[in-house]
């Protein structure tokens, strides 16, 4: 009787796990999500450059479509934290929009001149756009890629640059 109870409990747990997994797969982004952005990186950014990606969990798709570049954070945020806890904390502050002037920090501390981001990092984008350091070089409904300028533009220069 105890064995049948264990089998029934295991079967129920497996069934619930299967249903949750099926729901998660249906709700996830399509397999080619970020492909166009990663293809742009591959075609326009010299091989070997470091790309500052604003979300560690975007890394698997980015690396799948563009393995010619290095990415600041990927697979698990604890890897960056284990490597350099202060840099990891800076990464978090930048991507959450807590650093008002992220351009020089990304360039000087992370060694990146290109930033890849999903379009959900609103506070980061607000800081990047107002800082004068970033130029949007690629944008679609899935992602935005920005280049960090060599010199900061004033608000007037930024307005002149807008299309």
**pLDDT tens digits for the chain (163 residues)?**
667 776 677 667 666 775 655 554 455 667 788 999 999 999 999 999 999 999 999 999 999 999 999 999 988 889 999 999 999 999 999 999 999 999 999 999 999 999 999 999 999 999 999 999 999 999 999 999 999 999 888 777 776 665 5
Instruction: State whether residue 138 is helix, strand or coil.
Output: strand
CA distances 163 to 93, 136, 152, Å, are 30, 11, 18
The pTM score is 0.80
Both tokens of 16, joined, read: 């619930």
CA distances 119 to 28, 42, 58, 109, 125, Å, are 16, 20, 12, 23, 8
Structural class in CATH, domain 35-161: alpha beta
């Amino acid at each position: 009787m105890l064995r049948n109870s264990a089998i029934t409990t295991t079967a129920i747990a497996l069934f619930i796990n299967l249903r949750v997994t099926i729901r998660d797969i249906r709700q996830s982004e399509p397999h080619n999500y970020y492909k166009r952005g990663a293809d742009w990186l591959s075609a326009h950014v010299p091989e070997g450059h470091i790309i500052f990606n604003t979300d560690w969990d975007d890394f698997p798709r980015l690396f799948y479509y563009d393995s010619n570049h290095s990415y600041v954070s990927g697979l698990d945020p604890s890897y960056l934290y284990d490597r350099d806890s202060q840099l990891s904390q800076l990464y978090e502050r930048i991507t959450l929009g807590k650093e008002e002037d992220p351009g020089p920090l990304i360039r000087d501390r992370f060694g990146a001149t290109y930033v890849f981001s999903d379009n959900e990092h609103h506070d980061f984008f607000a800081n990047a756009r107002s800082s004068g350091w970033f130029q949007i070089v690629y944008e679609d409904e899935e992602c935005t890629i920005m280049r960090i300028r060599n010199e900061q533009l004033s608000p007037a220069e930024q307005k002149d640059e807008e299309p």
